[in-house]
A and B are shown apart, each in its own frame.
Chain A
Amino acid sequence: MSRDAILAAARTYQGVPCPLPTVPEFGPASNDALLARFKEVLEQVGGRWVERTAGGDLVGIVRQHYPDATRIVSALEDLPISTVTIGADSTPDQLVRIELAILRGRVGVAENAAVWVDEAQLPHRALPFVAEHCVLLLDPGNLVADMHAAYAALAGGDYGWGAFVSGPSKTADIEQALVIGAQGPRSLLVVFDSSGTSLTGA
């Protein structure tokens, strides 16, 4: 059986055991510095951001940025702007016609503007990729400095699928020319929303 042959070969040839290093913590930063860094990197990777003030009008923000969107899916409860309902059994045909997906991110990473989304917050895994445009709500209290801190913040979370999303879909496959909106979303808007409950470790 191939499995046993491969494992036997690996065991025979893997050589002298070498130690596993400990990954240290790298420079912590203040929350203000994290937010400024996140915004700066997000702009570099082609994303945009807006701050939602306490009790601010989320629908207004969405309308302002995406005035023409009509087929809108919201993964947030009770957002009156949602026009399409998506579930685990939605078909590819239904999914690919979505114009705007409004989702909640769990953790944001300052060094690379990546926002973690996972199955627990989504009606369908395809949503962050299939929508023409994507809005991610993120509590600035859930920002961390780097990827080490991000995985530490996500530890213990039980998800069947999850992803870091950093800016919109992009390609530079034709002569290194950057094109925003390859196969996935053409734009990504991060809404800093401190009115939601903290989701870290939820």
Chain B
Amino acid sequence: MNPDSHAAAAASFLRDAERTGWHDRAIWFVRQKRDIAARSVPEWEELRGLASAIKRHTMSHLALYLEAFERSARRNGVTVHWARDAAEHNDLVLGILRARGARRLVKSKSMLTEECRLNPFLAGNGIEVVETDLGERIVQLAGEEPSHIVMPAIHRKKAEVAALFHRTLGTREDPDPAYLAEAARQHLRGLMASADAAMTGVNFAVAETGAMVVCTNEGNADLGAHLAPVHIASMGLDKVIPRTEHLGVFLRLLARSATGQPVTAYTSHFVRPRPGAELHVVIVDNGRTAQLARDDFRESLHCIRCGACLNTCPVYRRSGGHSYGVTVAGPIGAILAPGFDLAAHASLPFASTLCGSCADVCPVRIDIPRQLYRWRQIAVASGQVSWSKRVSMRLLGATLASASRYERAGRLLRRLLRRVPRLIGHPALDPWSRSRELPVAPEESFREWYRRERRTR
């Protein structure tokens, strides 16, 4: 990917100004709902502090809690698997399905399995994979990736969903969300009732009890898991928390931060397999311990995937999730992805104004702007930014570092700009000015005016 990949992808999203505005407003609406929900809890800031401290403690004792979780889960009759990377995770899942002769797998929303590219892998091995979350099913039928970790199909308009369902499910082309959701309900319940296996993600894994907590609004994770003979839960190793009492802290923050709901409709605790059924958990590393090793970025593993930083981000809202080219988009994705592959994702830390809004809304208080800034430094040091950005930043740095150079440059530019108004800020040369107009350059600077006034008094 070229160093400007996010900007280039965002430019194509921005070509449809009407859609960009709609996307921006739809997602800002979720941010506003989050604000109302957060303000309704007097101890909100205390909860954020607790959540951050619990995560910091857990990460600093990660091996201990992973082993404790494994012990608890095994005692509960759960089969525990470990996967170092996406390929091992996918092989393990396929192995479990093949051992049971499973042909149809129903899945609730799991960003980890998206990250591992599980669906195309299973499809290539003859497994029918059915996403059962409505948003996930929409993007699956459309042959797309989710554009948001909580609202996977937020980039699609209802008329587009109507056309998609008409083509794939044979519904009439009616854009009424209630009609479309009902059609999906009938379609998905039938598939869930006849599934050979079910997969879910894991929101929280409790080391003390081995409980795996899964949150949904649709009830699809439970429908799938309770009807199928096999349930496979995939969890990133960052999902472990020490004790049940800590669920109270995280569950009070998660849904309020995500959608402004007081809690998701269903918060399910899977502890032991259903009588006569199998319960597996795959604990996945896939770059997480590498991120743990980076002092500057360890905190990014505290993320509980609420999506609040996406909803508040002015860049995300106006560029769309797909422009990031990764499973987890937005500010949190921009600090996670460079850890996986810096060369491929070096443009993402620059997809930010460093306004700091993401850190303000993060329920576990991850200092995202600081990490964005650190990744920028690393990207520049390793030559992962474009030639024009390197040269212009070096020039600007040299100018701003010296008062006399700054003054001389100002004088020169004011004079030049009065004669050639679009010298800088030419749309062909300077992307910043494509939708902005520079003000008219003044005759003199404040300092020049001040010196002149002093002389004349």
Contact = CB atoms under 8 A, between A and B. Distances in A.
Interface string A151-171: 110010001111111111111
A7 B68 CA distance: 12
Instruction: Bin chain B's interface residue count.
Output: 35 or more
Contacts of B270: 161
B276 interface: yes
Interface in B263-315: 263-276, 283, 285, 289-290, 292-293, 295, 298
A54 interface: no
B220 interface: yes
B205 interface: no
B134 A129 contact: no
Contact of B261 (A1, A45, A173, A184): A45
A183 B262 contact: no
A153 to B, nearest CB: 11
Interface stretch (A19-27, A57-65, A72-80, A193-201): A19-27
A49 to B, nearest CB: 16
B292 A169 contact: no
A18 interface: yes
Given A19-B57, A161-B269, A163-B266, A177 B289 contact: no
A172 B356 CA distance: 28
Nearest to A17: B60
Interface string A2-32: 1101111111111111111101101100000
Contacts of B76: 160
A92 interface: yes
Contacts of B189: 96, 183
B252 A146 contact: yes
B409 interface: no
A52 interface: no
Given A10-B237, A173-B152, A181 B185 contact: yes
A39 interface: no
A150 B289 CA distance: 34
A177 B177 contact: yes
A174 interface: yes
Given A9-B289, A112-B262, A20 B66 contact: no
Contacts of B153: 173-174
Interface residues of A, number: 76
B181 A179 contact: yes
Contacts of B263: 109, 112, 114, 147, 164, 166
B130 to A, nearest CB: 12
Contacts of A137: none
Contacts of B138: 173-174
B247 A147 contact: yes
Interface centre among B88, B218, B273 (most CB of A within 10 A): B218
Contacts of B46: 24
Give the secondary structure class of B's interface: helix
A145 B237 CA distance: 32
A14 B62 contact: yes
Contacts of A126: 222-223, 226-227
Contact of B248 (A2, A12, A19, A23): A23
B30 interface: yes
Contact of A18 (B57, B156, B245): B57
Interface in B101-142: 132-135, 138
Contact of B265 (A5, A21, A160, A166): A166
B26 A176 contact: yes
B54 interface: yes
Interface string B151-181: 1111011100100000000000000011011
Interface string B235-264: 001000010111111011000000101111
Residue in A6, A9, A14, A183 with the greatest tally of chain B CB atoms within 10 Å:
A183
A10 B62 contact: yes
B61 interface: yes
Contacts of A160: 76, 271-274
B158 A174 contact: yes
B181 A171 contact: yes
Interface in B9-51: 26, 29-30, 41-43, 46, 49-50
B67 interface: yes
Contact of A89 (B50, B84, B132, B276): B276
B63 interface: yes
B320 to A, nearest CB: 15
B193 interface: yes
A8 B150 CA distance: 32
A3 B267 CA distance: 29
Contacts of B156: 174
Nearest to A155: B244
A159 B292 contact: no
Contact of B54 (A20, A45, A148, A170): A20
A182 B218 contact: yes
A174 B134 contact: yes
Nearest to B228: A92
Given A2-B83, A172-B217, A176-B26, 9 more contacts: A13-B292, A15-B59, A17-B60, A27-B42, A27-B43, A45-B265, A88-B276, A92-B227, A172-B259
10 contacts: A8-B63, A10-B66, A15-B292, A114-B267, A125-B226, A161-B269, A162-B268, A172-B259, A173-B133, A184-B222
Question: Closest 10 A-B residue pairs measured CB to CB?
Answer: A184-B219, A160-B272, A112-B262, A173-B135, A182-B218, A126-B226, A9-B289, A13-B293, A177-B177, A112-B263
